[in-house]
Amino acid sequence: MKKLLIGAIVGGIIIFLWQFLSFALLNLHGKAFQYTPKQNEIMNSLNSLITEDGQYLLPGLPPDATSEQHEAAMKSSEGKPWAMVSYHKAMEMNMGMNMIRGLVVDIIAVALLCWIISKMNLPTFGTVLTASIFTGLIVFFTAPYTGHIWYDTFDIMAYFMDALVGWGACGLWLGWWYSRRAKGVNV
């Protein structure tokens, strides 16, 4: 249990640090958060037209639209502009709590991987590193990439790099940490 906890905490911190580098310091996801000098006009328009927090796909259809209406909308929208708007009536920033929640989630994710690794019989450095990278790819394929298939996101390659670099770095740590037992070093 001690091996799992230490592996999860250190691995979670590694993932968290990579996310900080990726989103903030290196700005790899910048294409998904672009600036427009027309932001005030856009916000004023959204504020006057949208009444509830939510994510809106434009053009869209009401929830009770028929399949014929869906098909007609798809045909009429082909080749035309579209947008996805995430709208909130009030910005609430709690950087400290958001960072704590992010770190806790990263530690939990790595703990799940550590549990799987702990069930391996004498895991080698290479096996653990590969399992970690595969975990990153699973995360990438089932969330950012699946969303990208439908909604053409602008930072998909940054998410791919996050999967490889973040989980790869975590795998380097976990590979060393877990392979120590295989070499007869007890922790």
Segments making up each domain of the chain, as ranges: 2-33+94-182
Q: Which residue has the tokens 């909308």?
A: 73
The pLDDT value recorded for residue 183 is 53
pLDDT digits (tens, 9 = 90+) for 131-173: 999 999 999 999 999 999 999 999 999 999 999 999 999 999 9
Angle at which helices 2-20 and 167-182 pack, to 10 degrees? 160
Question: Could you tell me where the DSSP H helices lie in 81-166?
Answer: 95-118, 125-140, 146-151, 156-161
Name, in order, each residue with C-beta under 8 angstroms of 128's C-beta and a sequence gap of 6 or more: 117, 120, 171, 174, 175, 178, 179
The pLDDT value recorded for residue 63 is 93
DSSP letter at 36 equals: -
The pLDDT value recorded for residue 186 is 53
The pLDDT value recorded for residue 142 is 97
Residues of the chain short of pLDDT 70, as ranges, are: 181-187
